[in-house]
């Protein structure tokens, strides 16, 4: 089955990520069946979709898109029994993944892809729990919140077929996402590892007394973060290299200084004292700000950025 023939998506686990995925699928005109064992899960899911729907309207709905195309099921096997594509969003625990995917593999149609939103668990760690069709299990890791952020990281496990990876990539592209293909599995995938590296140095700079929490946030938000949102690290480096591009940059003393900073980066473990110090810094940074309004402004600017970026044909 090609991505063009996906009409029914099952969302298994409807917490923050699962609810956001459900909104995304519904906005693209798909039928969604969902399941989550938590008390009040259906009401919470429908409330989340209602809250997120205005953003989907602003971005543009597919023909026939409607929250009314959501059906909630009591159990995962009922939710996936007629699905073309399954997006699993259960707890980040290997024992839970193994039990859940065994049930999904037993109940889902043979042609259905089983995708996981797992952040740190790799497909190879649990796909052997799917004796019927381990080849259809794939990573489909979004960046939060999935109904807004385009990135999806796609990877196969040791038993995943190349055709399934291609189908998953095609399905996410058809949603308007920007999927990337991880050619080998690595814990945390790509985006989480990149931000983890930044967080490590950010915590180290606080611990070392170099700058305040607010100034470290400002250093990214008012500096490289603006460029990274448009180009990413390598293209930003390329443009920094002048006429010779990134290749010329490696020949300059500046690059030797960069590698010198690599050797000087801190390694830190967040103990209670450092955690409290950072938390106090965040509280001070938010002083006098309305957090709800901060979130509203962030999301409004994010929507505007996504719209404008979609019209910029030369940006990646």
Q: Taking 70 as the threshold, does the pLDDT of residue 1 lie above it?
A: no
Residues 146, 276, single domain; the answer is: no
What CATH code is carried by the domain that includes residue 213? 1.10.1040.10
Same domain, 173 and 242: no
pLDDT tens for 135-149 read: 999 999 999 999 999
**Reduced DSSP (H G I as helix, E B as strand, rest coil) percent helix, strand, coil of the chain, to 5:** 55, 10, 35
- Mean pLDDT along residues 30-49: 98
Q: Across residues 101-126, what is the average pLDDT?
A: 97
Whether 14 has a pLDDT exceeding 80, the answer reads yes
* Whether 167 and 60 share a structural domain: yes
Residues 54 and 128 occupy one common structural domain: yes
Task: Write the pLDDT tens digit of every residue in 279-294.
Answer: 999 999 999 999 999 9
Q: What beta strand segments (E) does the chain contain?
A: 8-12, 31-35, 70-72, 85-88, 113-116, 137-142, 151-156, 178-181
Nearest C-alpha neighbor of 139 from the set 153, 129, 149, 127? 153
- Give me the mean pLDDT over the 5-28 stretch: 97
Are 154 and 247 in a shared domain? no
Q: How confident is the model at residue 212 (pLDDT cuts 50, 70, 90)?
A: very high
- What span, in angstroms and rounded, lies between the C-alpha atoms of 177 and 238? 25
Answer yes or no: do 172 and 203 share one domain.
no
In a domain, 123, yes or no: yes
For all residues of the chain together, what is the average pLDDT?
A: 95
Number of neighbouring beta carbons within 10 Å of residue 83: 26
Is 64 in the same domain as 32? yes
Q: What is the pLDDT of residue 242?
A: 87
Last residue of a domain, one of 133, 162, 181: 181
* Same domain? 28 vs 9: yes
Count of domains for the chain = 2
User: If you average pLDDT over residues 106-129, what whole number do you get?
Assistant: 97
Q: What is the pLDDT of residues 227-277, one digit of tens each?
A: 999 999 999 999 988 888 999 988 888 899 999 999 999 999 999 999 999
Residues 249, 280 share a domain = yes
pLDDT band at 3 (very low <50, low <70, confident <90, very high): low
* Domain range for 116: 3-181
- In-domain check, residue 316: no
First to last CA, the chain: 28
Does residue 46 lie in a domain region?
Answer: yes
* Predicted local distance difference test score (pLDDT) of residue 240: 87
Residue 28's pLDDT is 97
pTM: 0.93
Q: Is residue 104 part of a domain?
A: yes
Percent of the chain with pLDDT over 70: 99
pLDDT at position 241: 86
Cα 225 to chain center, whole Å? 18
Residue 105 in any domain: the answer is: yes
When pLDDT is cut at 50, 70 and 90, the band that residue 68 belongs to is very high
207 and 303 belong to one structural domain? yes
Given a cut of 80, is residue 4 above it in pLDDT? no
**263, two tokens:** 């050797």
For the segment 171-188, the average pLDDT, to the nearest whole number, is 97
């Amino acid at each position: 089955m090609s991505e063009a023939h996906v009409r029914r998506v099952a969302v298994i686990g409807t917490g923050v990520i699962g609810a956001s995925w459900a909104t995304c699928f519904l906005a693209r005109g798909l039928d969604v069946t969902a399941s989550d064992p938590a008390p009040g899960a259906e009401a919470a899911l429908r409330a989340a979709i209602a809250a997120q729907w205005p953003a989907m309207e602003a971005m543009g709905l597919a023909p026939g898109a409607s929250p009314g195309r959501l059906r909630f099921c009591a159990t995962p096997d009922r939710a996936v029994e007629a699905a073309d594509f399954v997006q699993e969003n259960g707890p980040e625990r290997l024992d839970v993944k193994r039990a859940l995917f065994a049930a999904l593999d037993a109940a889902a149609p043979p042609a259905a892809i089983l995708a996981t939103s797992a952040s740190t668990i790799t497909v190879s760690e649990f796909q052997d729990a799917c004796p019927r069709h381990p080849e259809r299990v794939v990573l489909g890791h979004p960046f939060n919140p999935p109904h807004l952020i385009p990135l999806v990281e796609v990877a196969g496990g040791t038993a995943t077929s190349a055709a399934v990876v291609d189908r998953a990539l095609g399905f996410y592209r058809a949603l308007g996402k920007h999927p990337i293909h991880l050619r080998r599995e690595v814990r945390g995938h790509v985006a989480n590892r990149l931000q983890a590296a930044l967080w490590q140095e950010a915590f180290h700079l606080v611990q070392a007394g170099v700058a305040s929490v607010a100034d470290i946030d400002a250093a990214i938000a008012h500096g490289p973060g603006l460029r990274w949102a448009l180009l990413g690290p390598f293209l930003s480096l390329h443009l920094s290299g002048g006429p010779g591009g990134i290749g010329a940059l490696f020949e300059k003393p500046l690059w030797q200084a960069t590698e010198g900073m690599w050797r000087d980066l801190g390694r830190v473990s967040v103990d209670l004292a450092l955690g409290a110090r950072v938390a106090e810094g965040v509280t001070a940074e938010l002083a006098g700000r309305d957090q709800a309004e901060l979130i509203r402004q962030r999301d409004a600017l994010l929507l505007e950025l996504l719209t404008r970026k979609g019209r910029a044909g030369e940006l990646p």
